[in-house]
Chains A and B, each alone.
Chain A
Amino acid sequence: SQTIHQWPATLVQPVGSPLSLECTVEGTSNPNLYWYRQAAGRGLQLLFYSVGIGQISSEVPQNLSASRPQDRQFILSSKKLLLSDSGFYLCAWSFRGEQYFGPGTRLTVT
């Protein structure tokens, strides 16, 4: 069966520090992968998606970037965090149109 992992689960970082969040998927090959952010107010916003290695599409201009160095690995990064980057970051993959989400990383920028 397929599983999706994210780490770390929680992270507290100062403003101006770098960020690297990792997501990996097991049990499938060549999945579509997604990064979403959930800020206060409950809505989820799509940040990036990838249909293959090295193929990244950005949905929202921002302080973040994404990379897909391997088929089942998706990384969210920032060179310098802003206070507004705080939130709950969720990675997802899709199979036959249905999306499945990882456990998320709760990021607090102080």
Chain B
Amino acid sequence: GIQVEQSPPDLILQEGANSTLRCNFSDSVNNLQWFHQNPWGQLINLFYIPSGTKQNGRLSATTVATERYSLLYISSSQTTDSGVYFCAVVAIADQGGSEKLVFGKGTKLTVNP
């Protein structure tokens, strides 16, 4: 099955710093999502981005489907950005009914005041 690798596994920042999180995947995808898991465990949808670039406030994401990677940019980080960021994909082979998401292991972000 498709493999999803995220880097770095852990990241510690000072408030106000910028960061880039990376997601590599091993096969063509039909769907790519970025999530933020907050300290209470809730998975919050950040982006649905199988290709192209999107921006939402201080966050933006770019997926280059032909090169099988996606990047999540966080600018002017805040303590509330802390948590684990997950990339998840649906392989094109799995489209057409089930839309099964395969998750990476996540990047744990800590933003210190």
Question: Residues on A close to B: CB < 8 A?
Answer: 32, 34, 38, 41-46, 49, 51, 57, 59, 88, 90, 92, 94, 97-101, 103-104, 106
Asked if B48 and A42 make an inter-chain contact with CB atoms under 8 angstroms apart, the answer reads no
Instruction: Find the A residue at minimum CB distance from B102.
Output: A46
A-B contact pairs, 10 of them (CB 8 A): A32-B98, A34-B101, A38-B41, A42-B108, A43-B103, A44-B86, A45-B103, A88-B41, A98-B48, A101-B42
- Give the one of A57, A98, A100, A106 with max B CB within 10 A: A98
Q: Which residues of A contact B102 (CB under 8 A)?
A: 46
Asked if A98 and B100 make an inter-chain contact with CB atoms under 8 angstroms apart, the answer reads no
Asked if B41 and A97 make an inter-chain contact with CB atoms under 8 angstroms apart, the answer reads no
B interface size (C-beta, 8 A): 26
Tell me the number of A-to-B contacts counted with CB atoms below 8 Å. Answer: 59
- Report if A59-B43 is in contact (Cβ < 8 Å); known contacts: A43-B106, A44-B86, A99-B33: no
Asked if A43 and B48 make an inter-chain contact with CB atoms under 8 angstroms apart, the answer reads no
Query: Bound state CA distance, A61 and B97, in angstroms?
Result: 21
Q: Which residues of A contact B40 (CB under 8 A)?
A: 103
Q: Which residues of B contact A32 (CB under 8 A)?
A: 97-99
Asked if B100 and A59 make an inter-chain contact with CB atoms under 8 angstroms apart, the answer reads yes
Q: Which residues of A contact B108 (CB under 8 A)?
A: 42
Instruction: Find the B residue at minimum CB distance from A97.
Output: B31
A45, A90, A99: the one within 8 Å of B99 (CB): A99
Query: Bound state CA distance, A19 and B103, in angstroms?
Result: 25
- Inter-chain pairs besides A34-B100, A92-B101, 16 sampled, C-beta below 8 Å: A43-B105, A43-B106, A44-B101, A45-B103, A51-B98, A57-B98, A90-B43, A97-B30, A97-B99, A98-B31, A99-B88, A99-B99, A103-B40, A103-B42, A104-B43, A106-B41
Is the C-beta of B23 less than 8 angstroms from some C-beta in chain A? no
Is the C-beta of B90 less than 8 angstroms from some C-beta in chain A? yes
Contact digits for B65-108, partner A, Cβ 8 Å, 1 yes 0 no: 00000000000000000001010101000000111111111101
Q: Which residues of B contact A42 (CB under 8 A)?
A: 84, 105-106, 108
- Give the one of B40, B41, B42, B102 with max A CB within 10 A: B41
